[in-house]
């Protein structure tokens, strides 16, 4: 439930289209539903501007399906992150319309409520499909990655942005080992409203991008690299010590968090 569904409920009561019993039934879903193993937060979209997301690790497929059955009626689309192949197969049997991104380890499950549950807009379809993936329009978030090995995190970012109703402009494999590849896309990157940089190894790409643009840059260190990379710690420390002022850094591999931060920046800037 979000601002729109609350307003629609009030308007329905005023116009006599919603009974008192129907209104009470809807409001009982606030602030959460207790499923025993999980307390589903139906109030989150009202507080944060985006609905609750299901983090799959540690949950059984049955847990995820029961949570989805509670969330689907209340949201326009439900996002599941870090889902395994086995979990995805089970969920798709229960929800055949679910869209699985194996590389990004995400599921987007269409809901039944209009405009409820997610952030800035209800993403009933990928907003990039209408104009083509290369189109640069209002409210674009550029997702820039160092190498193909970063793709799982890039796809998590992309899927989260789509769930949030934002337009991702994905530019892959432009790491500093061949910096001319990055410079070839400078105009595309510069026109974005927010830039998310996804990189492993030493994480230098975030500093380079941060030194080229005047837009918010969110850096995501990736657990890609050789032994001394320490599972992304080297990239994390490199990004935290960026000499490009104002670069913000998420936790290692946290593409979801970077996308949510981008959405908050867009909303604060009036780009939603």
CA distances from 39 to 44, 66, 92, 158, 173 (A): 12, 11, 23, 27, 40
pTM attached to this predicted model: 0.80
Q: Give the DSSP letter of residue 124.
A: S
Q: What is the pLDDT along the chain (272 residues), one digit of tens a residue?
A: 556 667 777 888 888 888 888 777 766 666 776 677 877 777 777 777 788 899 999 999 999 999 999 888 878 899 999 999 999 999 999 999 999 999 999 999 998 765 433 443 433 334 333 333 333 345 589 999 999 999 999 999 999 999 999 999 999 999 999 999 999 999 999 999 999 999 999 999 999 999 999 999 999 999 999 988 889 999 999 999 999 999 999 999 999 999 999 999 998 888 66
CA distances from 66 to 28, 29, 60, 115, 230 (A): 19, 16, 10, 22, 37
CA distance 38 to 183: 47
pLDDT of residue 126: 41
pLDDT of residue 1: 56
Residue 17 makes CB contacts below 8 A (sequence gap 6+) with none
Domain topology for 140-268 = Rossmann fold (3.40.50)
Structure tokens at 250: 């998420």
pLDDT of residue 132: 34
Comparing C-alpha atoms, which of 183, 234, 178 is closest to residue 209? 183
Q: Where are the domains of the chain?
A: 3-110, 140-268
Half-sphere CA count of 173, side-chain side, radius 13 A: 2
With vertex at residue 190, the alpha carbon angle to CA 187 and CA 196, rounded to the nearest 5 degrees, is 120
Q: Give the DSSP letter of residue 109.
A: E
CA distance 232 to 215: 25
């Amino acid at each position: 439930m979000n601002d729109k569904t609350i307003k629609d409920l009030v308007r329905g009561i005023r116009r006599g289209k919603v009974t008192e019993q129907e209104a009470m039934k809807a409001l009982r879903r606030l602030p959460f539903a207790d499923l025993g193993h999980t307390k589903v937060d139906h109030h989150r979209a009202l507080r944060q501007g985006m609905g609750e997301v299901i983090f799959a690790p540690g949950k059984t497929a049955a847990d995820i399906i029961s949570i989805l059955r509670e969330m689907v009626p209340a949201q326009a689309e439900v996002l599941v992150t870090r889902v395994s192949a086995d979990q995805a197969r089970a969920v798709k049997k229960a929800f055949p319309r679910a869209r699985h991104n194996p590389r990004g380890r995400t599921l987007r499950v269409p809901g039944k409520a209009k405009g409820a549950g997610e952030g800035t807009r209800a993403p009933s379809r990928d907003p990039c499909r209408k104009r083509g993936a290369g189109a640069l329009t209002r409210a674009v978030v550029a997702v820039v990655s160092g190498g193909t090995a970063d793709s799982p995190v890039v796809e998590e970012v992309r899927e989260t942005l789509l769930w949030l109703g934002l337009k991702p402009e994905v530019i892959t494999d432009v790491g500093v080992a061949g910096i001319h590849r990055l410079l070839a896309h400078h105009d595309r990157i510069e026109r974005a409203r927010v830039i998310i940089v996804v990189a492993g190894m030493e994480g230098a790409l975030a500093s380079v991008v941060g030194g080229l643009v005047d837009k918010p840059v969110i850096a995501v260190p990736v657990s890609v690299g050789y032994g001394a990379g320490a599972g992304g710690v080297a990239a994390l420390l490199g990004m935290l010590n960026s000499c490009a002022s104002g670069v913000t850094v998420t936790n290692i591999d946290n593409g979801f968090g970077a996308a949510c931060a981008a959405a908050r920046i867009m909303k604060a800037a009036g780009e939603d």
